[in-house]
């Protein structure tokens, strides 16, 4: 109650001031909305070993221009472990020297069906009435956090300016808390105070005038950029005895283990046993067996997510997944675990945070560190990361979105942490061999393009729902585009389509109209018909790193037939550019009556810092210049 009195008085003082708009418009001329106040109070009570956690949130926003009403609709998400208990919302319309309050009375609930097929997340939405330039809004919320492992991060910066930001944690003195800071150097000074109040400790962080953070395409997740603090309850006292909670990775793992230790104890479905026998029959090595089981699971168990309460953490029984033929990442891992076990092999359940989550297990040993489960399999001292939620993933590749991340691998009551490798560029390749014939101003060509690794997988995903031949041709016109937008494939054949192990090969004939310049007795032709590399250049004023799905390598061999009666009068000089991040090699040579133009590009990164972007951009700029060079053929 005291807190609200404080907030109320603060609010009255602020709302009475109709100069706010003028003042903040001057300070933030380019912003639509600013947060005047944000206060979060987390109450963590402990009663005989039972936690009671409430989170009070207060937010006050000021709208600086006529786009205010675009913000009228607000939606809040909540779920079983994070229940929204109370809500009060109002907008305040400026009138003369004061504000008139418009209370929100209509709140609409809906089941959130967007993320998972079935989960407990709900959305509450409402409309702030009469929002206009100079309006303010106020929102008061109270949440119950039902599990002490799920304390959320507190942010000290956002995608809008925040004028006053305060976070208070009031926790029973018997609760041991630690606070993990991230990117606080990006934020204005944060004042921290800790004091004892009765049987509680009160921790307070306050901050003034945090500038807004920009949103940039393909930037790492907001958790990699915004300043924030993650509170973690490491232990607590119950009857004078210390009980561990999230005391390091061990604490997290022992909770995870308690959720999975009792699964797959029922009698195995005999049809599953028979299937495993059939799939592994004749396989000579354990790895071959695992491969057969892994590919079957990818092909046959469809991804449907059920995330209801603890169901979001506990894998379903393998029998159940087998009969339903669908499941989420945990269920896929569960059936694969069981299938390996039936085959006399051992896989291990493995927790992983995808690349959206930037923390290591040591940094944040809480459920906030991961969001995915796979199965690990050890063979000849190599770990294979089997993610059966996708399709076409070869056994040597992890799914692309977990590359470089830590894996928490179950090993009975203990665990191992391993780093998932980033797949090398030479395993994700486009190898293209093209023969070009000049016909007047047009090019008539034939190509064979071979794809491997993630590049192959992505094309397969696109091909899956491209059903008619004309649509497939259109897709290849885009994917294999050469020279100009007049590139048109006339016919094609495919080899190893939808193969897990073999490279995908497409052979095609094509034309590029009006590509060649004929002036007098000379023919000018630009041999750089593959220029997609130029697209990775980033803006000079970019603020954040940029992320890519995988490393990759392109190799294009373009062989141009010298027309009868012509000789080569100019070929560009070979170029070799590059750093360890990006290398570009262009070479040109005359072989009999042809010119062979070779282009090799290696993209050796999945993440480019701002400094790295500058280096890469410099190479791209040099490549742009090199790409302007043409071949000149002279009539004999």
Partner 1 sequence: MNFIKSLILLLCITSNSSAQTSPFYKSYDWDTNPNYVIEASDKDMIALKEKVVTEFFFEDQNLTEYYLEHKVLWLNSDDRIEEYNKVYLPYASNASLVANKARVIKKTGEIIVLDASKILQAENEETGSKYNYFAFEGIEKGSIIEYYYVEKRRPKYQGARVDIESDYDKQFVEFDLYAPTNLLFNFKSFNLETAVVKDESSTEKLHWQFAVKDLQGIDREEQAPYTAAIGYLMYKLHKNTANNTIITSYNEVAQNLYAFYYPGYTEEENKLIEKFALIFISLE
300 phi and psi angles, rounded to 5 deg: -110, -20
Q: Single out the residue of 14, 255, 313, 326 in contact with partner 1 (rule: CB under 8 A).
A: 326
Q: Which of 362, 405, 368, 363 is nearest to 387 (CA)?
A: 405
The backbone torsions φ and ψ at residue 147, rounded to the nearest 5 degrees and listed phi first, read -140, 125
Tokens of 555: 């190799």
Binding of partner 1 by 77 (CB under 8 A): no
Percent helix, strand and coil across the chain, each to the nearest 5: 25, 40, 35
Nearest to residue 632, comparing CAs of 483, 518, 556, 482? 518
Rounding to the nearest 10 degrees, give the CA dihedral for residues 154, 159, 161, 162.
-20
- Shortest Å distance, C-beta 406 to partner 1: 30
Regarding 302 and contact with partner 1 (CB under 8 A), the answer is yes
Residue list 405-464, contact with partner 1 (CB under 8 A): 464
Place of tokens 């796979």: 374
Out of 275, 304, 612, 630, which residue is the one contacting partner 1 (CB under 8 A)?
A: 304
Q: How far apart are CA 225 and CA 221, in angstroms?
A: 7
How far is the C-alpha of 225 from the C-alpha of 157, rounded, in Å? 9
Comparison of 109 and 193: residue with beta carbon closer to partner 1: 109
Beta carbon nearer to partner 1, 121 or 403? 121
User: Which span sits near partner 1 by CB under 8 A: 225-233, 318-326, 369-377, 523-531?
Assistant: 318-326
- Determine how β-strand 82-95 pairs with β-strand 228-238: unpaired
Asked if 274 interacts with partner 1 (CB under 8 A), we say no
Q: Least distance in Å: CB of 476 to partner 1?
A: 16
3-state SS class at 561: strand
Q: What is the closest distance, in whole angstroms, from the C-beta atom of residue 164 to partner 1 in the complex?
A: 32
Q: Is the CB of 3 or the CB of 391 nearer to partner 1?
A: 391
d(CA 377, CA 251): 24
Is 85 one of the binding residues for partner 1 (CB under 8 A)? no
Q: Does 117 bind partner 1 (CB under 8 A)?
A: yes
Nearer to partner 1, 111 or 411 (CB): 111
Closer by beta carbon to partner 1, 1 or else 470: 470
Tell me which of 189, 193, 325, 625 binds partner 1, using CB under 8 A: 325
Identify the burial level of 3 via C-beta atoms within 10 angstroms of its C-beta, where 0-12 means exposed, 13-18 middle and 19 or more buried.
middle
Q: Which residues of 464-479 are buried (b: 16+ CB within 10 A; e: fewer)?
A: eebeeeeebbeebbeb
Nearest Cα to Cα of residue 151 among 118, 176, 119, 121: 176
Site for partner 1, residues 13 to 72, rule: CB under 8 A: none
Among 14, 81, 257, 303, binds partner 1 (CB under 8 A): 303
Find the binder of partner 1 among 258, 323, 411, 484 (CB under 8 A): 323
Q: Which is nearer to partner 1, 379 or 461 (CB)?
A: 461
- 109 near partner 1, judged by CB under 8 A: yes
Burial call 361-394: b when 16+ CB within 10 Å, e when fewer: beebbbbbbbebbbbbbbeeeebbbbbbbebbbb
Nearer residue to partner 1 within complex by CB, 108 or 569:
108
Which of 69, 125, 186, 235 touches partner 1 (CB under 8 A)? 125
Segment lying near partner 1 (by CB under 8 A), choices 76-84, 138-146, 317-325, 406-414: 317-325
CB of 520 to partner 1, least distance (A): 42
| Candidates 10-18, 320-328, 363-371, 550-558; binding stretch for partner 1 (CB under 8 A) | 320-328
Of 408, 305, 307, 415, nearest in space to 359 by CA: 408
Q: At what angle do helices 329-342 and 286-300 cross, to 10 degrees?
A: 140
Range in contact with partner 1 (rule: CB under 8 A) among 149-157, 300-308, 369-377, 439-447: 300-308
Q: How far is the CB of 585 from partner 1 (least distance, A)?
A: 38
Residue 324 in contact with partner 1, rule: CB under 8 A: yes
Q: Which one, 5 or 465, has the nearer CB to partner 1?
A: 465
Rule CB under 8 A: choose which of 86, 108, 258, 411 binds partner 1: 108
- Total site size for partner 1, rule CB under 8 A: 23
Cβ nearer to partner 1, comparing 323 with 614: 323
Q: How near is the Cβ of 76 to partner 1 at its closest, in Å?
A: 13
CB of 390 to partner 1, least distance (A): 11
Task: Using alpha carbons only, give the angle 254, 259, 265 rounded to the nearest 5 degrees.
Answer: 120
Residue 219's contacts (CB-CB under 8 Å, 6 or more residues apart) are 225, 544, 545, 546, 547
Closest CA to 572 of 635, 634, 633, 631: 631
Residue whose CB is less far from partner 1, 77 or 300: 300
Span near partner 1 by CB under 8 A; candidates 113-121, 139-147, 181-189, 402-410: 113-121
| 3: CB partners within 8 A, 6+ apart | 39, 41, 56, 168
Show contacts with partner 1 in window 230-249 (CB under 8 A).
none
Q: How buried is residue 303: exposed, middle or buried, by Cβ count under 10 Å (0-12/13-18/19+)?
A: middle
Pick from 237, 391, 473, 615 the residue near partner 1 by CB under 8 A: 391
Report the C-alpha gap between 476 and 467 in whole angstroms.
13
Site for partner 1 in 465-494 (CB under 8 A): 465, 467-468, 471
To which residue do tokens 């390996």 refer? 340
How many angstroms from the chain centroid is the CA of residue 415?
26
- Examine residue 380 and tell whether it contacts partner 1 (CB under 8 A): no
Under the binding rule (CB under 8 A), the answer on residue 539 touching partner 1 is no
Region binding partner 1 by CB under 8 A among candidate stretches 181-189, 201-209, 273-281, 321-329 = 321-329
Binding site for partner 1 (CB under 8 A): 108-111, 113, 117-118, 125, 299-300, 302-304, 323-326, 391, 464-465, 467-468, 471
């Amino acid at each position: 109650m005291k807190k609200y009195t404080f907030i109320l008085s603060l609010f009255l003082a602020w709302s009475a001031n109709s100069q706010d708009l003028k003042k903040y418009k001057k300070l933030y001329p380019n912003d639509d909305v600013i947060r005047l106040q944000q206060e979060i109070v987390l109450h963590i009570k402990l009663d005989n070993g039972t936690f009671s956690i409430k989170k009070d949130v207060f937010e006050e926003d000021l709208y600086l221009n006529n786009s205010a009403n675009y913000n009228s609709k607000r939606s809040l998400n909540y779920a079983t472990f994070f229940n929204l208990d109370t809500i009060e919302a109002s907008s305040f319309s400026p009138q003369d020297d004061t504000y008139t309050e418009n209370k929100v009375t209509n709140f609409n609930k809906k089941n959130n069906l967007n993320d998972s097929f079935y989960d407990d997340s709900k959305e509450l939405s409402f409309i702030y009435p009469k929002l206009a330039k100079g309006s303010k809004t106020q929102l008061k919320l109270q949440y119950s956090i039902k599990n002490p492992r799920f304390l959320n991060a507190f942010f000290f910066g956002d995608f809008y300016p925040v004028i006053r930001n305060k976070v208070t944690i009031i926790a029973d003195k018997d609760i041991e808390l630690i606070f993990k800071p991230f990117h606080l150097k990006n934020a204005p000074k944060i004042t921290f105070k800790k004091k004892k109040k009765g049987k509680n400790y009160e921790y307070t962080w306050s901050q003034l005038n945090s500038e807004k953070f920009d949103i940039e395409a393909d930037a790492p997740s907001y958790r990699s950029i915004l300043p924030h603090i993650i509170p973690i309850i490491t232990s607590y006292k119950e009857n004078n005895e210390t009980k561990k909670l999230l005391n390091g990775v061990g604490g997290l793992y022992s909770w995870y283990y308690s959720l999975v230790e009792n699964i797959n104890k029922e009698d195995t479905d005999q049809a599953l046993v028979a299937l495993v026998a059939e799939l592994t029959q004749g396989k000579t090595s354990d790895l071959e067996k695992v491969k057969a089981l892994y590919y079957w699971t990818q092909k046959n168990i469809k991804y449907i997510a059920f995330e209801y309460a603890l169901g979001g953490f506990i894998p379903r029984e393998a029998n159940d997944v087998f009969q339903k033929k669908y499941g989420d990442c945990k269920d896929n891992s569960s059936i694969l675990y069981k299938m390996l076990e039936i085959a006399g092999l051992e896989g291990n359940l493995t927790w992983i945070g995808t690349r959206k989550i930037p923390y290591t297990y040591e940094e944040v040993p809480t459920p906030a560190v991961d969001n995915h489960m796979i199965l690990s399999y050890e063979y000849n001292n190599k770990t294979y990361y089997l993610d059966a939620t996708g399709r076409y993933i070869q056994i040597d590749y992890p799914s692309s979105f977990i590359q470089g991340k830590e894996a928490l691998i179950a090993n009975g009551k203990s665990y191992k942490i391993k780093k998932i490798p980033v797949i090398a560029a030479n395993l994700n390749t486009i190898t293209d061999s093209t023969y070009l014939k000049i016909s007047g101003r047009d090019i008539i060509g034939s190509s064979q393009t071979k794809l491997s690794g993630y590049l192959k997988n992505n094309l397969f995903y696109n091909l899956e729902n491209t059903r008619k031949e004309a649509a497939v041709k259109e897709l290849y016109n885009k994917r294999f585009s050469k020279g100009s937008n007049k590139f048109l494939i006339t016919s094609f054949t495919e080899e190893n389509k939808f193969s897990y192990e073999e490279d995908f090969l497409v052979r095609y004939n094509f034309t590029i109209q009006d590509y060649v310049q004929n002036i007098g007795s000379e023919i000018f032709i630009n041999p750089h018909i593959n220029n997609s590399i130029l697209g990775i250049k980033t803006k000079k004023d970019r603020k954040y790193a940029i992320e890519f799905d995988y490393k990759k390598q392109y190799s294009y061999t373009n062989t141009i037939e010298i027309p009868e009666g012509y000789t080569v009068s100019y070929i560009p000089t070979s170029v070799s550019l590059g750093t360890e991040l990006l290398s570009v090699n262009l070479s040109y040579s005359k072989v009999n009556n042809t010119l062979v133009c070779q282009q090799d590009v290696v993209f050796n990164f999945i993440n480019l810092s701002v400094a790295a972007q500058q280096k890469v951009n410099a190479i791209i700029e040099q490549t742009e210049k090199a790409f302007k060079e043409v071949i000149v053929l002279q009539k004999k």
